[in-house]
Amino acid sequence: MASAMTLTDRFDRALLYATHVHGGQVRKSTTIPYVAHLLAVAATVLEYGGSEDMAIAGLLHDAVEDQGGEPRLNDIRNRFGSRVAAIVEACSDSIANSSGGEKKLQWRERKLKYIKSLSHKDKETLLVSLADKVHNARSILRDLRKLGIGEKIWDRFSNPKKDTLWYYEELAIAFRKLLKGQLANELGQIVVALHENNAPRRKR
Ligand SMILES: [Mn+2]
């Protein structure tokens, strides 16, 4: 039997850091504190065998993109080390967005670039990233089931429903190729359920 993985006070500090950094932030168009998402991602990383560094990266994976850009990344590197910082950086699809330095790429272009970039990422980074996507997709599915086929659910995204579905479908395809296993399959199943709850099934 594999020995138990022990979390240290680094994890505790990361949790506190995450709650401070994302304090007051809520999940898009909801009243759910943002930290709920970070806890879910860290939990999934640990449930699927991730290390402490990976779980910490799970807690901090949105800190750079949402809360501070490059200076935030440097702060994370100083506090939690270069491995955590590298995973967080790889999970941020455009750091330039938050630092305001460069012009934001078009949405679809940015997503395609991100999906393409997955093939250059190591398995540890992929697991954190996949845990993030699974929780995001599951949150959409939960709201669809809770609220019925309310088109309003899709209004929270800056892009039309079909674009959001396209994005998750592409992610599921990529992850099932790059990180084969139960969690990647689960993302695929959630995407199927999103289609079933929303739109006629696409021809394949
Ligand atoms: Mn996230």
For 108-138, the pLDDT digits (tens) are 888 898 899 999 999 999 999 999 999 999 9
Cα four-point dihedral sign 37, 123, 72, 95: negative
Higher pLDDT, 161 or 96: 161
Q: Check residue 103 and report its DSSP letter.
A: P
Please give the distance, rounded to the nearest whole angstrom, from the Cα atom of residue 132 to the centre of ligand 1: 5
Please report, for the chain, the start and end positions of each structural domain, with discontinuous segments joined by +: 9-196
What confidence category does residue 2 fall into, taking pLDDT thresholds of 50, 70 and 90? Answer: low
**What average pLDDT does the segment 190-200 reach?**
81
Helices (H), 61-122: 63-66, 69-80, 82-91, 95-99, 107-117
163 and 108 in contact (C-beta within 8 Å)? yes
Higher pLDDT, 98 or 131: 131
- Count of beta carbons in the 10 Å neighbourhood of residue 139: 19
* CATH fold group of domain 9-196: Hypothetical protein af1432 (1.10.3210)
**What average pLDDT does the segment 177-181 reach?**
97
Please give the distance, rounded to the nearest whole angstrom, from the Cα atom of residue 133 to the centre of ligand 1: 7
Please choose, from the candidates 173, 167, 170, 169, the residue with its C-alpha nearest in 3D space to the C-alpha of residue 192. 169
Cα four-point dihedral sign 77, 139, 200, 191: positive
Please give the distance, rounded to the nearest whole angstrom, from the Cα atom of residue 1 to the centre of ligand 1: 32
Please give the distance, rounded to the nearest whole angstrom, from the Cα atom of residue 82 to the centre of ligand 1: 20
Highest mean pLDDT out of 58-72, 97-111, 153-167: 58-72
Residue 201 has pLDDT above 80, yes or no: no
- Which amino acid would we find at residue 78? N
**What average pLDDT does the segment 170-197 reach?**
95
Element spanning 134, H or E: helix 123-147
Structure tokens belonging to residue 173: 């395809």
Neighbours of ion ligand 1 (CB under 5 A): 62, 132
pLDDT, residue 38, reads 98
22 and 60 in contact (C-beta within 8 Å)? no
Please give the distance, rounded to the nearest whole angstrom, from the Cα atom of residue 142 to the centre of ligand 1: 16
Radius of gyration for the alpha carbons in the chain, expressed in angstroms and rounded: 17
